[in-house]
Structure 1
């Protein structure tokens, strides 16, 4: 790879102003200078804590999926269990907590599956995806007052059909599932 591909092209922040700071929305406006000297006086950044989601599979091979309403797109859909890392919380700890709270499932073997940026052009956070295998029901749900989540056990074929039909709309959940199915197909074809 040539050195031009490895060159850091970081922008210089000349000025930064917070427009709103709320628990679920922090937005700032940066005035930046590009490496070529051009300036962008209004570049908007959304600051979020890191997120987690979990591909949870029971000892019987069933996927633990949730279904909930998403106001942004006005739809109720199937998703992976997911949530926010609390301040100072490690992503794995947050993932185990979210699975337990939202579904009542836990234990099992955990592996970091992938880390992606929700939108690197304007968002500051990362999303950590885990695979938890051999999980088991250990409790009831422990939902927050603002959560309305139902739990569904699904076969691998059912989850794959949700992806193929476009029923899983959340890209940060579709990506790790597509990776799982792609790698499973490659192993089957060997």
Structure 2
């Protein structure tokens, strides 16, 4: 049993709002805060919509969409299907829409969707309120996915997963893959 020997710190107090910038995708907030030791600090944070990452499986293979340019890292990367969760939907409701957009898969072509983490993980708890939800979607075995929308296919084998981990640069995608691997005891 692991014991926490540190009492929880008290919440920091907002002294004043310094700046706030709104956009459809993100709100950037600068605040002056007083920490639990009484020190005054200027702090920047972002508020973002939650994210969904989906492991798409068909016939014992992991299917990833075509690589996309990622402005945050300034390059094209291979990632699992994923996207933001709008305020009008739940993370689970976002899954079929994302699979339609990224792989052309219709909702009736999905055999099952399994939630990998029900609470969502904080992506960067010090800087953002955004949570990540992971799902596994199993596609019906006889469905043909447009090859133009497929970026890569990896077998669900030890070697296939190791190769995929080497090719993924996104920590969110890697985290969801490892959670799935552990939860389903994939060797």
- Whether the 8 Å CA contact 1:68–1:149 is kept in 2: the answer is no
Aligned equivalents of 2:47, 2:115: Cα separation in 1:
23
Aligned equivalents of 2:86, 2:44: Cα separation in 1:
24
For 1:91-124, what per-residue CA distance to the aligned partner results, in whole angstroms no more than 9, with x for missing partners?
Answer: 0001221112211224221121122211110111
Q: What's the TM-score once normalised by structure 2's chain length?
A: 0.80
- Whether the 8 Å CA contact 2:63–2:150 is kept in 1: the answer is no
For residue 98 of structure 1, what is the aligned residue in structure 2?
98
- CA positional deviation for 1:154: 2.6
Kindly tell me: are residues 116 and 135 of structure 1, through their superposed partners in 2, closer, same or farther at Cα, counting changes over 3 Å? farther
The alignment partner of 1:108 has SS state of strand
Aligned equivalents of 2:43, 2:54: Cα separation in 1:
33
What are the residue-to-residue correspondences of 1:1-80 with 2, within 5 Å?
1=3, 4-5=6-7, 7-40=8-41, 42-58=42-58, 60-66=59-65, 67-80=67-80
Kindly tell me: are residues 9 and 72 of structure 1, through their superposed partners in 2, closer, same or farther at Cα, counting changes over 3 Å? same
The alignment partner of 1:181 has SS state of helix
Q: What's the TM-score once normalised by structure 1's chain length?
A: 0.79
For residue 130 of structure 1, what is the aligned residue in structure 2?
135
For residue 117 of structure 1, what is the aligned residue in structure 2?
122
- Whether the 8 Å CA contact 1:57–1:135 is kept in 2: the answer is no
Structure 2, unaligned stretches of length 5 or more?
none
- CA positional deviation for 1:17: 3.9
The alignment partner of 2:101 has SS state of helix
For residue 160 of structure 1, what is the aligned residue in structure 2?
162
Aligned equivalents of 2:44, 2:101: Cα separation in 1:
34
**Across the two proteins, how many residue pairs are aligned to each other?**
176
- CA positional deviation for 1:44: 0.1
- Whether the 8 Å CA contact 2:104–2:149 is kept in 1: the answer is no
Segments of 4+ in structure 1 off by > 6 A? 138-141
For residue 174 of structure 1, what is the aligned residue in structure 2?
174
Aligned equivalents of 1:71, 1:177: Cα separation in 2:
23
The alignment partner of 1:73 has SS state of coil
Q: For the aligned residues, what is the CA RMSD?
A: 2.7
